[in-house]
């Protein structure tokens, strides 16, 4: 008698759901409108439901948002996508584009990490992304892969420095000590990528802040 094939991924998914429920509850307590998406497809549907047709959407540096194909999907629906990741953008116009991203109807980003206590933790080099997370004036929408869940703020900062930063550094062709070492060495290098640290302990006052936690690996 042949045995039915084992669905190895099921155990992962069951666990993700459990962790997800803990994080969603904590985020909700902290004033975020939080929901869990089982899959990338569900996450895309959840974002489409949060972005009004015709709305402008500011997308800062986020691999997660692009892995989900959201700029293209939203643009094909008629949304205006404002992003500085635009190869045709002249260097002298970049600062204005950063500002325009923040002023969009929806600021669509990920987070480098989310804690079990429902805090969003990020480190930026330029600061435009963390600025938008706290200061974008309209709807702020975070899409976060389950791989970014950390026990606490210390674990989140560790994750960002040992994992997100070197991988992003490789993506951007940067010369960072953590790329050579494989982990953060708290460098003093002039090209240090870690400059602006943000911890959102609660949703910023008066903001319409949403978090979609996805039960799949996304971004770095
Ligand atoms: S502090 Fe330096 S070595 Fe550490 S993650 Fe940031 S850029 Fe890399």
pLDDT by position in tens, the chain (length 220): 678 899 999 999 999 999 999 999 999 999 999 999 999 999 999 999 999 999 999 999 999 999 999 999 999 999 999 999 888 889 899 999 999 999 999 999 999 999 999 999 999 999 999 999 999 989 999 999 999 999 999 999 999 999 999 999 999 999 999 999 999 999 999 999 999 999 999 999 998 999 999 999 999 9
The SS3 assignment for 217 reads coil
- Whose C-alpha lies nearest to ligand 1, atom 2? 187
Integer Cα distance of 118 and 212 in angstroms: 12
Integer Cα distance of 131 and 140 in angstroms: 11
- Whose C-alpha lies nearest to ligand 1, atom 6? 194
The β-bridge relationship of strands 149-150 and 33-37 is unpaired
Neighbours of 189 (CB within 10 A): 12
**Pocket lining: 157 vs ligand 1, CB cutoff 6 Å:** no
The CATH code for residues 14-150+196-214 is 3.40.50.10420
What local confidence, expressed as pLDDT, does residue 52 receive?
97
**Pocket lining: 193 vs ligand 1, CB cutoff 6 Å:** yes
Domain boundaries, the chain: 14-150+196-214
Whether 209 and 140 have beta carbons less than 8 Å apart is answered as yes
Q: Kindly give the distance from the C-alpha atom of residue 77 to the centroid of ligand 1, in angstroms, as a whole number.
A: 39
What's the CA angle centered on 96, arms 91 and 101, to 5 degrees?
A: 115
Task: Specify burial of residue 197 (Cβ count, 10 A radius: 0-12, 13-18, 19+).
Answer: middle
- Whose C-alpha lies nearest to ligand 1, atom 4? 184
Integer Cα distance of 13 and 21 in angstroms: 12
Rounded to two decimals, what is the model's pTM? 0.95
What local confidence, expressed as pLDDT, does residue 126 receive?
93
What local confidence, expressed as pLDDT, does residue 4 receive?
87
Q: Kindly give the distance from the C-alpha atom of residue 195 to the centroid of ligand 1, in angstroms, as a whole number.
A: 9
């Amino acid at each position: 008698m042949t045995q039915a094939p084992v669905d190895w991924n099921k155990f992962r998914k069951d666990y993700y759901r459990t962790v997800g429920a803990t994080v969603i509850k904590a985020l909700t307590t902290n004033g975020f409108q939080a929901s869990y998406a089982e899959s990338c497809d569900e996450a895309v549907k959840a974002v489409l439901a949060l972005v009004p047709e015709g709305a402008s959407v500011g997308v800062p540096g986020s691999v997660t948002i692009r892995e989900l194909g959201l700029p293209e999907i939203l643009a094909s629906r008629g949304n205006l996508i404002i992003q500085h990741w635009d190869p045709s953008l002249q260097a002298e116009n970049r600062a204005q584009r950063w500002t325009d991203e923040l002023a969009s109807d929806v600021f669509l980003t990920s987070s480098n990490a989310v804690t079990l206590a429902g805090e969003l933790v990020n480190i930026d080099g330029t600061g435009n992304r963390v600025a938008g997370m706290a200061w974008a004036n309209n709807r702020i929408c975070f899409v976060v892969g389950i791989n970014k869940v950390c026990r606490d703020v210390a674990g989140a900062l560790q994750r960002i420095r040992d994992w997100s930063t070197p991988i992003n550094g490789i993506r951007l062709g940067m010369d960072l000590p953590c790329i050579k070492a494989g982990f953060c060495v708290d460098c003093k290098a002039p090209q240090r990528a870690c400059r602006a640290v943000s911890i959102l302990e609660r949703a910023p006052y008066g903001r319409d802040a949403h978090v979609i936690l996805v039960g799949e690996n996304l971004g770095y």
